[in-house]
Every structure is written in structure tokens, then in C-alpha cells.
Amino acid sequence: MTAANPTVEARPLSGRSWRRWTQRHGWTVGIWILLVVLVVWYSTLIPRFGGFQFSTIINGGTAWIFLAAAQAVVVIAGGLDLGVGGLLVLTSATAAQFMDGQPFAISIVLAVVILIGAAILNGFVGWIVTVSRVPDIVVTLGSLFIYQGLALMMLPKVGGGSSDGFRWLFTGSATGIGTNPWPAIVMITVPIAVAARWMGRTPSGLSLYAVGSDETAAFLSGVNAARVKIVSYAVGGAFVAMAGFSTLAIAGVGNATTEGSSLTLNSVAAIVLGGVLFTGGVGSLIAVVPAALILFFFNPILSALGVNPNQAQVIQGILIVFVMMVASLIEWRRRRRS
């Protein structure tokens, strides 16, 4: 990567370092600015923009953010997890099955157990990827099916439930609808910040980037590449469990018939917009969060503009293609110049 270029390090010219800074963080800053602009624009579009609208966006976006974060961790480490959508359905169905009618304290204990279980389960998928050397896209295609089937076994009919306190944790109210966005903001910020710091500042987190950008080089410099990949899938699984909890908290009941594959597709679109490269080793959770929110936020904006949901989907698709075309053309020109 460009960061390793010694001439840039040796001569800290202001012009050079500015260019380097924009190259490294430009996408992150840009995507946050885009989010703020969209929120401000949205607030002028609708007659009343207050706590209710704000918390609706945050609450609804929580699952999208966690799912995108899960995908980002795996892709940065050089993998791809098509199973995330299925695991979301499985975790929320399992939580709905066991939390129904339980007091708050028990539901928290159950949540922790399910979260650890999801991490172990997805870590096992990562283990299969590393041991079998079958392409990750194939293995996780299989895990998508398996998760979806297990979810149906766990909760054959729409139903189950959770405790009031549990719903408050993710939505700011016991009914799932409210004007208090703060619990959801905390629930998003704390895990994402911890994970982002882990990935950006600690050796074990940075090894994700090392393995993602060049597995052989990472292995030769002493990184246990197989373990890093398994860890990335496990961390992904834990994030997916959070997304599953949020889904349950908003709906109030579990639904194992939700199509997991379309949720996976959302997560893939979100990390693309968030600047994570499929080749691995590039990207940041800090940029994925606003990207996921923007994708979720699209529908309310377009419906405020009077566009119906179907057209909104068309516009969303065209925009993703457009962003990707521009991004790959920029990349292509940069490669030609160097």
C-alpha cells in the first residue's frame, strides 16, 4: 500500500502529506459528510423533524449497521460471508424463542449466550473455509442455507418475544416505537468503537488487514493466517447477533421466514459504499457505519420526495452501480498513472 512508501515518510512536505491524508481518509470523511447532508436535507423535506423521526432512522438503521460491520470485518480479512443474512434470522429467531416471557435479567443472559454461540458457529464456518480451501463464497452460500433452515427449526411460526427492557435497549421504548434514540446510539457506538480501535490499533486487529491484503506475506512474517481468518468470521458472527437482537427488539416477535439472502445483499452494498475493497485489506468500520445508515435512510428520503418504494429501489440500484463505476474508473486511472 502507499502508506509504506519510504520517500513519503522521509519528506513530510505539506502538499504530499495532505494528499496522503485525503487518500487514506477521504472516503470516510466524504461518506460522513454525505450522511449529514442527507439528514439535513431530509429535515427540510418533511413538515416536522423531531426526536421521533430521528430515533426511527437510528433504530431502523441499527441492524443494517451491525450487519454491514460484520461483513466489513470478514471482507477486510480477505473473506466474504454470504451467510450473515441467514445468521441474523437464526439469532433473532433463537432469541425470540427463548426470551419470550422472561424477565429482563434473564433476557440479557440469554443475549450474551446467543452472541457467543453465534460467534462460535460462524467461527466454525471460518474454520471450514480455511481447512477445506473451498472458496469462501461457496462455503458461506452453504452456511446461508443451513442457518436459514436452523432458524425455521428453531421457530417454525412467527412468534416468540422478548422482555420490555431488552426492547428498550435497542429502541428506547418498551414498544419498539419511541422518541428516544439514545439507547440505540450507545448500543451502536460502543461495540463499533471497540472493534474499530481493536482493528486499527492492536497487533491482533491489524493482522486482519495484513492477512486481507496478502495472506502469504502475512504468514511469512509470522501471522497465523488461518487463525486470523477464523477470528474474523467469529467477530462477524457476534456483530450479526447484535443485528438479530435489534431486529427482534423492533418487531417484538421473531420471524424465521425472513429472506436472509436479501439481508446479505444489503450488507454487501453497504460495505461497497463504505469503501471496503473486495480484494481485502482495505476499509474501516468508521466509514461503513454511515454507509449502512445512508442505504437504510434512502427509502424515507425518497418517500418524503413522493417517490414510491418500488421506484426508490430502482434509484438505489442505479446509484450503487454509478458509485461503483466512478470508483473503479478512478482506481483504473490511478493504476495507469503509476
Partner 1 sequence: MNEISSTAPPEEATDEPLSIKLSIARQLSDRPQIVLIAVLVALIVVTAIIEPNYLSLAGLRNSAFFAVPIGVLAAGQTILMLTAGIDLSIAMIATASAYIAANQSPNGAAIAIILGLLFGIVAGTANGIGVGIFRVNPLIMTLATSGILLGLFTGWATTIFAGSTRMHDFIITLGRGTFLDGNVPWSVVVWIGVSIFVLLLLRRTGYGRNLYALGDNPIAARLSGTRAWQVLVVAYAISGLLGAVAGLLMGGRIGAADLQLAGFLLLPSVAAAVIGGTSIFGGVGTYTGTILGALILGVLQSLLTFLGAGQAVQQVLYGTIVVGLSWMYSRLAAAS
The binding site for partner 1 (CB under 8 A) comprises 128, 132-135, 137-139, 141-153, 156, 261, 265, 268-269, 272, 278, 308, 310-318, 320-321, 324-325, 328-329, 332
**In the complex with partner 1, which residue's Cβ is closer, 45 or 323?**
323
User: What's the min distance (Å) between Cβ of 152 and partner 1?
Assistant: 4
**In the complex with partner 1, which residue's Cβ is closer, 62 or 267?**
267
- DSSP bridge pairs for 159: 254
Single-letter amino acid, residue 282: V
User: What's the min distance (Å) between Cβ of 121 and partner 1?
Assistant: 13
Q: Closest Cα partner for 115 from 6, 2, 21, 239?
A: 239
> What Å distances lie between residue 150 and 46, 49, 256, 258, CA to CA?
42, 41, 9, 13
Helix (H, G, I), strand (E, B) or coil at 63: helix
User: What's the min distance (Å) between Cβ of 60 and partner 1?
Assistant: 19
Name residues whose C-beta falls within 8 Å of residue 50's C-beta, 6 or more positions apart in sequence: 179
From CA 196, how far away is CA 65, in angstroms rounded?
Answer: 13
Q: Closest Cα partner for 255 from 175, 148, 163, 168?
A: 148
DSSP string, 23-50: HHHHHHHHHHHHHHHHHHHHHHHSS--S
Q: Closest Cα partner for 227 from 72, 73, 77?
A: 77
**In the complex with partner 1, which residue's Cβ is closer, 56 or 316?**
316
Q: Closest Cα partner for 120 from 226, 245, 240?
A: 240
User: What's the min distance (Å) between Cβ of 57 and partner 1?
Assistant: 21
User: What's the min distance (Å) between Cβ of 322 and partner 1?
Assistant: 9
User: What's the min distance (Å) between Cβ of 187 and partner 1?
Assistant: 28
**In the complex with partner 1, which residue's Cβ is closer, 305 or 314?**
314
**In the complex with partner 1, which residue's Cβ is closer, 216 or 310?**
310
**In the complex with partner 1, which residue's Cβ is closer, 86 or 176?**
86
Helix (H, G, I), strand (E, B) or coil at 259: coil
User: What's the min distance (Å) between Cβ of 34 and partner 1?
Assistant: 18
**In the complex with partner 1, which residue's Cβ is closer, 150 or 289?**
150
User: What's the min distance (Å) between Cβ of 292 and partner 1?
Assistant: 15
**In the complex with partner 1, which residue's Cβ is closer, 26 or 149?**
149
> What Å distances lie between residue 30 and 20, 161, 189, 286, 287, CA to CA?
15, 40, 20, 12, 9
From CA 93, how far away is CA 155, in angstroms rounded?
Answer: 6
